[in-house]
Amino acid sequence: MARAVTSRRKLINTGIAWAIGLLIFFPILWTILTSFKTEAQAIASPPLFINFDWTLENYGVVMERSNYARFLWNSIIIAGGSTILGLIIAVPAAWSMAFVPSKRTKDILLWMLSTKMLPAVGVLYPIYLLFIQLGLLDSRAGLVIVMMLINLPIIIWMLYTYFREIPGEILEAARMDGATLKEELIYILTPMAIPGIASTMLLNFILAWNEAFWTLNLTAVDAAPLTAFIASYSSPEGLFFAKLSAASTMAIAPILILGWFSQKQLVRGLTFGAVK
């Protein structure tokens, strides 16, 4: 009897989980479906779900009009570059906060997070002027730096949480065996924290990939990533929803695939330390 109740509950829970999952995924699914419709079918009422004439025309138009490869390459460089640079800075920072905390460590952590509370537009002009002076406007290097700075508080916080789970005694033992600080970080701490570092990397990569304020405001032609590619298909005067959906699908496809293959690491990293 108890077994039957458990199975029933399991079934219900699975059903609820699937329903929530589908609800969350529905906008993406709808975008993908719309990308295969004609513009007239895209606005049809009642909406057409799968019973329409599927077409690849929108993808053809988008590929013809835009240099997708250039936008994609810029996204990879900006998201990848900022993630690597962020980790290089965040690993030592998180180490010091986790293993050599001071009286002010918690205040510093909170202060770092508080920088995320400032609306980006508030610092647009100072950053823009700085970029003009440094010749960084519309450059991938500039975007890598900005993206790294934006996501650095999150990276440090995440790594700090993972590092706190690692017993300090292990590092102490390494030190007693003669390991230098550099060796301790590279050969002891990093391998032990690889799941946490991997999920931090993935999350940061996704955040940088999707960031649309700075990437739109600090780029023009050379460094414009996929967010600019999507923005170029949004129109206030004219119905181009099918083309916009095709562009959006092309922009999210790489990150969707990456997320799909790395979901185990992502879930593991995000729930690390949640249950003790």
Partner 1 sequence: MHLKNALRAASALTLVAATGAIAAGHSPTITIATVNNGDMIRMQGYTDQFTAETGINVEWVTLEENVLRQRVTTDITTRGGQFDIMTIGMYETPIWGSNGWLVPLDDLSAEYDVDDILPAMRNGLSHDGTLYAAPFYGESSMVMYRTDLMEKAGLEMPVAPTWQFIREAAAAMDDPANDINGICLRGKAGWGEGGAFITVTGNSFGARWFDEGWNAQFDQPEWADALNFYVNLMNDYGPEGYATNGFNENLSLFNQGKCGMWIDATVAASFVTGDDSTVADHVGFALAPNAEGIEKRANWLWAWALAIPAGTQQEAEAKQFIEWATSKDYIELVAANEGWANVPPGARTSLYETPEYQDVPFAQMTLDSINAADPTDPTVDPVPYVGIQFVAIPEFAGIATEVSQEFSAAYAGQQSIEEALEKAQAITNEAMEAAGYR
User: Is the distance from CB of 195 to CB of 268 less than 8 angstroms?
Assistant: yes
Output 45 or 51, the one with its CB closest to partner 1.
Answer: 45
Q: Please, what is the Cα angle at 107 between 269 and 130, to 5 degrees? A: 85
Q: CB of 253: closest distance to partner 1 in angstroms?
A: 21
Q: CB of 148: closest distance to partner 1 in angstroms?
A: 22
Q: CB of 172: closest distance to partner 1 in angstroms?
A: 48
User: What CA–CA distance (Å, rounded) separates 22 from 15?
Assistant: 11
User: Is the distance from CB of 179 to CB of 113 less than 8 angstroms?
Assistant: no
Output 158 or 223, the one with its CB closest to partner 1.
Answer: 223
Output 122 or 191, the one with its CB closest to partner 1.
Answer: 122
Q: Which residues bind partner 1 (CB under 8 A)?
A: 39-40, 43-45, 65, 124-125, 128-129, 131-132, 137-138, 216-217, 220-221, 224, 228, 231-240
Angle, helix 194-210 to helix 241-261, in steps of 10 degrees? 170
User: What CA–CA distance (Å, rounded) separates 227 from 207?
Assistant: 12
Q: CB of 37: closest distance to partner 1 in angstroms?
A: 12
Output 85 or 145, the one with its CB closest to partner 1.
Answer: 145
Output 36 or 233, the one with its CB closest to partner 1.
Answer: 233
User: What CA–CA distance (Å, rounded) separates 156 from 87?
Assistant: 8
CA 249 to each of CA 29, 117, 233, 261, 262: distance values in angstroms, whole numbers, following the listed order: 9, 30, 12, 18, 19
Q: CB of 79: closest distance to partner 1 in angstroms?
A: 20
